[in-house]
Structure 1
Amino acid sequence: MVKLLVGVLVFVINQIYHDRPIPRFYVLETVARVPYFSYLSVLHLYETLGLWRRVEWLKVHFAESWNELHHLLIMEALGGSQHWGDRLLARSVALLYYWIIVALYIISPKSAYHFMELVEEHAYHTYDLFLVQEGETLKAQPAPQVALEYYQTGDLYLFDAFQTAHRPQERRPAINNLYDVFVAIRDDEREHVKTMVACQQADHTGRLGYEPLQELPSNTVAEPVLIEKAEEKEVVTRS
């Protein structure tokens, strides 16, 4: 089920945006924010009903949504949302996936986190491939103001909060040009993957403390790695 949802999303985006990277990233970032909204909605519902409260998880997921929001703002600043068709597709898919992930999170939180792990892993490899292909061009372009403000003078407390595999203030991207911006975004996606893994592995207390996790490989092609890793992970889980 989870792999099917991710596969459909990846297939649609790849087919429509194979030669339009910035609109592709705009759509990807619009949809990538949604599961964190879904998690927060369900967590707030449980808290309101008095079932249980996960304060740390609320903070982490809000910080993740805040990070993805700024990825989206960067793509908008680069012109990714100029065409009405791209905006319509992104928002329609986002609305659909919001309710799907709400239902999935109620039924199986681990499955909902695994979904986002795969989405973020796809995003990581997509950005990584883009950096390899367009690196020299990106290095010659300035960073948009929204990126400078977010990574250098923004709310760095929230920037630290979504990275459960790093200690506070341990990661501070240097932004000198557009290439650095995409490196920072790519590395953010890697941190989201680690946090989603941590959510799946959390103990009964729900604690998401600092714990270094395995790094994702860099400069690799996105889709084959995504599917192979997902299949390998399922085999290990069954064994």
Structure 2
Amino acid sequence: MVSVLILEEYTVKILIQVIVSFFVFIVDVVYGDRSYARFYVLETIARVPYFSYLSVLHLYETLGFWRRADLLKVHFAEAWNELHHLLIMESQGGNRYWGDRFLAQHVAVAYYWVVVLLYMLSPRYAYYLMELIEDHAYHTYDDYLKTHGEELKTQPAPQVAIDYYRDGDLYMFEEVQTATGGKFRHPQVNNLYDVFINIREDECAHVKTMEALQEPDARQSFYSPHTVFMAAKALPIDGEV
């Protein structure tokens, strides 16, 4: 019985890997070196699973099946994070052409319903799907930084990035940092290179969150960063009674 379950899990994961690899191949072929259009399409689509998770969790909450505020908080913060990635790409002209907007928006609508169904059937596989996508995003931005780093250092950071990463209300940005133990990353945003570094590190944070949420007891043991932070503040200092 155990071996059958392992085989089933292996088969499903291979299928998910094939689907993601096919999608990545298509995007790479269509967009080639049109980097900002490619990033715009990827960011439009990449935030959709968080909408799907939130929709299903709100449905469960409404029906009284299950309530956990921490997952809702973190998934909303992740969607907010991806929104700002999208706004940054738009500020760089990634959404200039109608065809790119049409493709991204229509794929996003279809993708939303696919992930809703998958999340209702198996949250673990839905999180695994997103882990692969966010991991691809991390490597995509990492490769872009290696190729265009010096050029990016000469360009100013868009205001939307400055407001999100440095000068605005940082609560939502901190809520995506689930693997830091309540020690939040507050990066510099001096130029476009810094912005892409921050986006890349955001994608890494999403990967770690998706990995954590695949643990068998994740629905009971997972807490948002600020929940962890407030719990740490409440702990007594060594030597105090």
TM-score band (shorter)? 0.7 to 0.9
SS, match of residue 200 in structure 1: coil
| Structure 2 match to 1:113 | 127
- Amino acid in structure 2 at the alignment position of 1:105: Y
Alignment of 1:18 with 2:38, yes or no, is no
* Unaligned segments of structure 1, at least 5 residues: 212-239
1:77 matched to 2:127? The reply is no
Structure 1 counterpart SS, 2:78: helix
Q: Closer, same or farther in 2 for the Cα pair 1:210/1:64, shift >3 Å?
A: closer
Q: Which residue of 2 aligns with 1:228?
A: none
The aligned residue for residue 63 of structure 1 is 77
* Kept in 1: contact 2:49–2:112 (CA 8 A): yes
Residue 141 of structure 2 is aligned to residue 127 of structure 1: yes
Give the share of equivalent positions with the same residue, in percent.
Answer: 60
Map 1:87-236 to 2 at 5 A.
Answer: 87-201=101-215, 203=217, 205-209=219-223
**2-structure distance, mates of 1:154, 1:167:** 22
**TM superposition shift of 1:206:** 2.5
- Distance change (3 Å), C-alpha of 1:134 and 1:127: same
Q: Give the counterpart of 1:2 among 1, 16, 30.
A: 16
- The 3-state SS of whatever aligns with 1:19 is coil
Runs of 4+ in structure 1 off by over 6 angstroms are none
Q: Is the 8 A contact 1:164 1:208 kept in 2?
A: no
Aligned-partner Cα distance in 2 for 1:110–1:176? 38
Larger Rg: 2
Change in Cα spacing, 1:113 to 1:17, as seen in structure 2 (3 Å) is same
Residues 174, 46 of structure 1: alpha-carbon distance in 2 compared, 3 angstrom cutoff? same
1:56 and 1:207 in contact (8 A); partners too:
no
Structure 2 distance, partners of 1:79, 1:38, is: 27
Structure 2 unaligned segments of length 5 or more: list them.
Answer: 1-14, 226-241
Cα distance change, pair 94–205 in 1 and its aligned pair in 2 (3 A) = closer
Name which of structure 1's ranges 8-17 and 136-145 shifts more when overlaid on structure 2: 8-17
- Aligned partner of 1:236 in structure 2 is none
The answer (yes or no) to whether the contact 1:26–1:81 under 8 Å persists in 2 is: yes
Q: Distance in 1 between matches of 2:21 and 2:219?
A: 32
Aligned to 2:3: none
